[in-house]
Amino acid sequence: MIIDGKKIAEELRDKIKSDIKKLPDNNKPGLTVILIGEHPASQIYVRNKEKFANEVGIKSIVLRFDESISEENLKNEIKKLNNDSNVHGILVQLPLPKHINQKDIIQTIDPIKDVDGFHPINVGNLSSGNDAMVPCTPLGCYYLIKKVIPNLSGLNAVVIGRSNINGKPMTQLLLKENCTVTIVHSKTRNIEEICKNADLIIAAVGKAQMVKSNWVKSSAVIIDVGINRIEIDGKNKIVGDVDFDNIYGKVKSISPVPGGVGPMTIACLLENTLKAFNKISKKI
């Protein structure tokens, strides 16, 4: 079975849209995205975030800055947004230019408005099992997995990749569901053997078609986070971290690229923005 991320994301957006519709016109969630420089993939991501935010009724603003902005000025812009009562979610699109310290920028964002879930307060809350803002991509993967396997208790899950954006928070979400989680990465020996024992594989490494059909068992569920541009027969194609064409008939379920995790990431950003709005509204 192919997991239809596009459809599941649409259902989630519809739910968010109907929740926002019930709010008074003068009090709707607001999301501000900061985009620095001309990074081509970031331009596309940000355009999509803005489009879908507006579609569900979130007031979305994109602040664009030149590549040369100083760290000091960027921090001041974030502080202004922290204090702006019309802004409930703040997202600084990554990657940042080399002269800007990413860690310091993330820590400048008010944790309650940190819709990316990258601030150490949110990272700590997630790993402690407290209420937290959860990073959008692993949260989207989690929703896809739960659609296919509602009870994950005791399953062997393998997370490929150990990034702060995906691998680590994904692991926390699966641990909370009582999975036995193995994280594999570039220095892991026998990745193939470890995957052969997995009930669930989440591939988030950024290596085109790395997971092969002889790595997986027939009852496995596979979630593909990768977005890799490759050239096949002189044509550019986007593929995931999983060798989809040779695997999809052999496993229980698999998410495609595109149309799997991608749409879920954006829907979860909208959900996090509504969550931030609700948290802030409760505090006031």
Q: How far is the CB of 275 from ligand GUN (least distance, A)?
A: 16
Nearest in space to 3 (alpha carbons), one of 282, 274, 279, 258: 258
* Chain residues 229-268 in contact with ligand GUN, contact rule CB under 6 A: none
Nearest in space to 161 (alpha carbons), one of 92, 91, 227: 227
Q: How far is the CB of 57 from ligand GUN (least distance, A)?
A: 22
Percentages (nearest 5) of helix, strand, coil residues in the chain: 45, 20, 40
Provide the Cα torsion 113, 116, 122, 127; round to 10°.
160
* Chain residues 91-120 in contact with ligand GUN, contact rule CB under 6 A: 91-94, 116
Active-site residue, 116 included: yes
Of 77 and 116, nearer to ligand GUN (C-beta) is 116
Annotated active-site residue in 113, 114, 116, 275:
116
Annotated active-site residue in 22, 51, 80, 93:
93
- By Cβ distance, which residue is nearest to ligand GUN? 94
Of 253 and 255, nearer to ligand GUN (C-beta) is 255
Q: Which helix (H) or strand (E) holds 107?
A: helix 102-108
Gap between the terminal Cα atoms of the chain = 46
Q: Where are the beta strands (DSSP E) in the chain?
A: 30-36, 59-65, 89-92, 156-160, 180-184, 200-203, 221-224, 228-232, 235-239, 253-254
Q: Where are the beta strands (DSSP E) in 45-185?
A: 59-65, 89-92, 156-160, 180-184
Q: How far is the CB of 134 from ligand GUN (least distance, A)?
A: 11
Of 93 and 125, nearer to ligand GUN (C-beta) is 93
Joined tokens for residue 244: 């989809």
* Chain residues 121-140 in contact with ligand GUN, contact rule CB under 6 A: 136-137
Instruction: Name the one range near ligand GUN by CB under 6 A: 8-16, 87-95, 183-191, 244-252.
Output: 87-95
User: Cβ contacts of residue 282 below 8 Å, gap of 6+?
Assistant: none
Of 136 and 274, nearer to ligand GUN (C-beta) is 136
Q: One symbol per residue from 157 to 196: x for binding ligand GUN (CB under 6 A), - otherwise; what is it?
A: --------x-------------------------------
Annotated active-site residue in 14, 15, 19, 49:
49
Q: How far is the CB of 96 from ligand GUN (least distance, A)?
A: 9
Active-site residue, 49 included: yes
Rounded to 10°, the helix 136-148/167-176 angle is: 40
Q: How far is the CB of 56 from ligand GUN (least distance, A)?
A: 18
Query: Within 13 Å and on the Cβ side, how many CA atoms surround 19?
Result: 15
Residues that bind ligand GUN (CB under 6 A): 91-94, 116, 136-137, 165
Catalytic residue annotation:
49, 93, 116
